[in-house]
């Protein structure tokens, strides 16, 4: 019995997915629950596991984008390899002088159909190969390896110019073939191009939409990080011993953001048509950079959480993002976003809104700078703050008030404890 592996539904707004990485090869044996493939969508990565035991075949190429529900592989149950029909002509009827290309059709050799086809097209003798699949089954990968070795030891004719035989039209990709998403250099080699990932396309469309639909304005301020740095140094050891996580800067900024949003409710609001929707909750998005792009998981109910809970949430989201295991619901429903470009060394930037939110805070690198304090020049650890906001709903005075309130909480963190 053959079981179809399909792209699962991962969310109402997700219509397609890209084959990111196969964790099994053509002809491999799989068990129920084995990880088969990682799919990339415009929101999150999704892992597909085997729902049946058997041998996997007909794998869709990595980099291919397909609609939800599309078949991307098949699992033949109850056998070491997919069922294989013998060659129409019996071996005994083969004429004298038949080349080794006929050997791959010998049914006494255990090989997957894909391996047999590739062996036939590449003039590889299956009987001379050792299978690495279950029960010694020869897989497509085994044939590709043999084909590569054969090419490297053959005559010095250039590999890219194959003989104009049926092998030139082989249905299976050559060993060196790249997935659809791989970079393809031009003839001169001076440039290359590859298809944008679904996540990168979503980010691009999202940012362009934000620029086109909102009246984005950015205002700046700066804060002295001395008090927070001193506090962290004094309590870090006890904090870690008690909570199992380090006390970072982000939890202070999350709590300070909540205080500022309470002081300026218009920033905790959004425009819906001709109406203004004010949020009475404080779910804060924290931007996290991954190899595949920027994602913004949401920390829920930050007004009710302590510093340790916020730090643990950030760690959990960062680990999930790096492993490609972020859930779609983790990215939805935020009322405000914090982006920390300082971890990359950014001194100053103008962050773009995350629609439909009306505000985003940009944190930056901490820099020792000379500051005037009580008429004297003092070297202090300073950070620039940037608040981008939707000027349709937030006035300049409110934006400045927000940053001043946040600055007060950062420079005097005791305010966060007593809500003063």
Active site residues: 391, 395
Measured CA to CA, the distance from residue 158 to residue 152 in angstroms comes to: 10
Q: What are phi and psi of 161, to 5 degrees?
A: -115, 80
Indicate the helix (H) or strand (E) that contains 147. helix 140-153
Q: What are phi and psi of 304, to 5 degrees?
A: -105, -5
Measured CA to CA, the distance from residue 346 to residue 335 in angstroms comes to: 24
Q: Does 18 or 120 have the greater pLDDT score?
A: 18
pLDDT in tens, 40-57: 776 677 788 888 899 999
Q: Which residue segments constitute the domains of the chain, with CATH numbers given?
A: 2-77 (2.40.50.100), 91-179 (no CATH), 199-418 (3.30.559.10)
Of 417, 398, 389, the closest CA to residue 255 belongs to: 417
- Exposure on the CB side of residue 383, measured as CA atoms within 13 A: 27
pLDDT value at 339 more than 60:
yes
Q: Is 250 helix (H, G, I), strand (E, B) or coil?
A: helix
Measured CA to CA, the distance from residue 348 to residue 236 in angstroms comes to: 28
Measured CA to CA, the distance from residue 323 to residue 192 in angstroms comes to: 28
pTM over 0.85: no
pLDDT in tens, 175-190: 333 444 556 666 777 8
How far out from the chain centre does Cα 349 lie?
A: 24
């Amino acid at each position: 019995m053959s079981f179809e592996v399909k792209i699962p539904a991962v969310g109402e707004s997700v219509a397609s997915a890209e084959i990111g990485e196969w964790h099994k090869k053509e002809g491999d044996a799989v068990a129920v629950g084995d990880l088969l493939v990682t799919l990339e969508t415009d929101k999150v990565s999704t892992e597909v596991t085997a729902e049946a035991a058997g041998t996997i075949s007909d794998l869709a190429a990595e980099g291919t984008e397909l609609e939800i529900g599309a078949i991307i592989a098949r699992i033949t149950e109850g056998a070491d390899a997919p069922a294989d029909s013998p060659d129409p002509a019996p071996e005994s009827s083969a004429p004298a002088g038949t080349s080794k290309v006929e050997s791959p059709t010998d049914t006494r050799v255990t090989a997957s159909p894909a391996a047999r086809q590739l062996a036939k097209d590449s003039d590889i003798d299956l009987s001379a190969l050792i299978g690495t699949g279950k029960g010694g089954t020869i897989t497509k990968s085994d044939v590709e390896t043999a084909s590569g070795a054969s090419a490297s030891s053959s005559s010095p004719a250039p590999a890219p110019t194959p003989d104009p035989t049926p092998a030139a039209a082989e249905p299976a990709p050559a060993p060196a073939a790249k997935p659809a998403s791989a970079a393809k250099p031009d003839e001169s080699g001076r440039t290359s191009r590859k298809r944008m990932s679904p996540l990168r396309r979503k980010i691009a469309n999202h940012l362009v939409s934000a620029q086109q639909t909102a009246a984005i304005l950015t205002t700046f301020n700066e804060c002295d990080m001395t008090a927070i740095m001193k506090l962290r140094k004094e309590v870090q050891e006890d904090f870690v011993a008690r909570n199992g996580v380090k006390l970072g800067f982000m939890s202070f900024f999350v709590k300070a953001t909540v205080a500022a949003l309470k002081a300026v409710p218009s920033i905790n609001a959004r425009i819906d048509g001709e109406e203004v929707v004010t949020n009475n909750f404080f779910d804060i998005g924290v931007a996290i950079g991954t190899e595949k792009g920027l994602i913004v998981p949401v920390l829920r109910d930050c007004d009710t959480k302590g510093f340790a809970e916020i730090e643990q949430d950030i760690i959990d989201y960062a680990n999930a993002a790096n492993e490609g295991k972020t859930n779609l619901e983790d990215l939805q429903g935020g009322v405000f976003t914090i982006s920390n470009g300082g971890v990359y060394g950014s001194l100053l930037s103008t962050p773009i809104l995350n629609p439909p939110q009306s505000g985003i805070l940009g944190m930056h690198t901490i820099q020792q700078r000379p500051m005037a304090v009580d008429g004297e020049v003092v070297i202090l650890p300073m950070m620039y703050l940037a608040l981008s906001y939707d000027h349709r709903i937030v006035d300049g005075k409110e934006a400045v008030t927000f940053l001043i309130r946040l600055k007060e909480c950062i420079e005097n963190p005791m305010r966060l404890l007593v809500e003063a």
